[in-house]
């Protein structure tokens, strides 16, 4: 018996499937855009799927490294190159590593929403999904008087309620979908939602190449391997005038040799003329204005 699940006769975003992929005209004649993004999951990466890990201190210390060591190192790199970045921060991280998030904001970088405990939303648990968004908003508001405009879902997990929820809570962009190389405005029922999609992809994410645990084993890759993929992808994105959305995690890219990788990749990108390094918020603003 092959089919044990209910047949899928409709995709949640079916009105968008026929949408054409349209390159964006970047500001000041720039040829492509690059977003340096950091998902500051910290311990939530290890807590969200198994909250009993809260009682496994060595295991979750993997995430503690992000706050203890990595964030200052990453801020140093960004400062050296004078580049803006976007940090997606779960509410739990903001509560438990408040000083680090304050440092990110003081350095002038954008902070976006990344859930509360980094829970992966379940299609049949709408209340839990909305609560994660509300809690994340409440924490950033309370601690930093901040209303984030951008959202990235934890681990690429979403439901078809995501875009309506982002509309309801007045986000201007999302960075959860992998269906394009160019940013676009989400539509529902043929109408603009006012939510820009800033697409991503696992190949531009550091975790699949670097994060190892006995409970989730993957091969740890060399910098050369990762750089090859990122450089080759970037070259092609550049030819297409696309948006290169690099997804890094302080606990991964903040390891000593990975910081060398980050510096080397930034130098590689800067050798191309006409690259716009932007935050998610800047990209979303630009796309919304272009679509008015
Ligand atoms: Zn994350």
Residue 168 belongs to a domain with what CATH number?
3.20.20.370
Which pLDDT does position 19 carry in this prediction? 75
93 domain-assigned = yes
24 domain-assigned = no
Arithmetic mean of pLDDT, 263-275: 98
pLDDT per position as a tens digit, 148-192: 999 999 988 888 899 999 999 999 999 999 999 999 999 887 789
255 domain-assigned = yes
Which pLDDT does position 9 carry in this prediction? 57
User: Does the pLDDT at position 229 exceed 50?
Assistant: yes
284 domain-assigned = yes
Range of the domain at 70: 31-290
- For residue 46, give the H/E element and its range: helix 44-47
Arithmetic mean of pLDDT, 186-204: 92
12 domain-assigned = no
Which pLDDT does position 123 carry in this prediction? 85
Which pLDDT does position 12 carry in this prediction? 57
Higher pLDDT, 144 or 59: 144
**How far apart are the CA of 114 and the centre of ligand 1, in A?**
7
153 domain-assigned = yes
Quickly count: other Cβ atoms within 10 Å of residue 238's Cβ.
18
Q: Indicate the number of domains in the chain.
A: 1
Distances (CA, A) of 159 to 112, 154, 162: 19, 12, 6
Burial class (CB in 10 A: 0-12, 13-18, 19+), 5: exposed
**How far apart are the CA of 94 and the centre of ligand 1, in A?**
13
**How far apart are the CA of 244 and the centre of ligand 1, in A?**
18
User: Does the pLDDT at position 18 exceed 80?
Assistant: no
Which pLDDT does position 188 carry in this prediction? 83
Show the beta-strand stretches assigned E in 142-190: 150-151, 173-174, 184-188
**How far apart are the CA of 36 and the centre of ligand 1, in A?**
15
Which pLDDT does position 259 carry in this prediction? 98
Average pLDDT, the chain: 92
**How far apart are the CA of 117 and the centre of ligand 1, in A?**
10
23 domain-assigned = no
Residue 190, SS3? coil
7 domain-assigned = no
């Amino acid at each position: 018996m092959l089919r044990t699940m209910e047949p899928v006769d409709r995709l949640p975003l079916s009105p968008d499937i026929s949408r054409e992929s349209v390159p964006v005209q970047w500001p000041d004649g720039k040829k492509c855009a690059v977003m340096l993004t950091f998902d500051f999951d910290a311990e939530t990466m290890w807590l969200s799927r198994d909250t009993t890990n809260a009682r496994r201190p060595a295991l979750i210390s993997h995430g503690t490294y992000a706050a203890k060591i990595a964030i200052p190192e990453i801020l140093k790199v960004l400062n050296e190159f004078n580049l803006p970045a976007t940090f997606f921060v779960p509410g739990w991280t903001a509560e438990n590593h408040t000083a680090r998030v304050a440092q990110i904001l003081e350095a002038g970088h954008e902070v976006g929403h990344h859930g509360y405990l980094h829970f992966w939303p379940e299609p049949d648990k709408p209340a839990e999904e909305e609560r994660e968004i509300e809690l994340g908003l409440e924490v950033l508001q309370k601690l930093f008087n901040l209303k984030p405009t951008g959202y990235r879902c934890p681990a690429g997990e979403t439901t078809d309620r995501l875009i309506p929820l982002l509309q309801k809570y007045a986000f201007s962009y999302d960075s959860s979908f992998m269906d394009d190389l160019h940013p676009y405005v989400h539509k529902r029922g043929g109408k603009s939602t006012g939510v820009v999609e800033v697409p991503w992809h696992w190949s531009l994410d550091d975790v699949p190449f670097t994060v190892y645990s006995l409970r989730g084993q993957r091969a740890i890759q060399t910098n050369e391997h990762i750089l090859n993929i990122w450089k080759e992808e970037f070259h092609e994105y550049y030819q297409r005038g696309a948006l290169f959305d690099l997804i890094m995690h302080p606990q991964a890219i903040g390891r000593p040799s990975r910081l060398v990788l980050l510096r080397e990749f930034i130098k590689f990108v800067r050798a191309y003329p006409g690259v716009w390094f932007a935050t998610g918020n800047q990209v979303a603003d630009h796309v919304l204005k272009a679509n008015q």
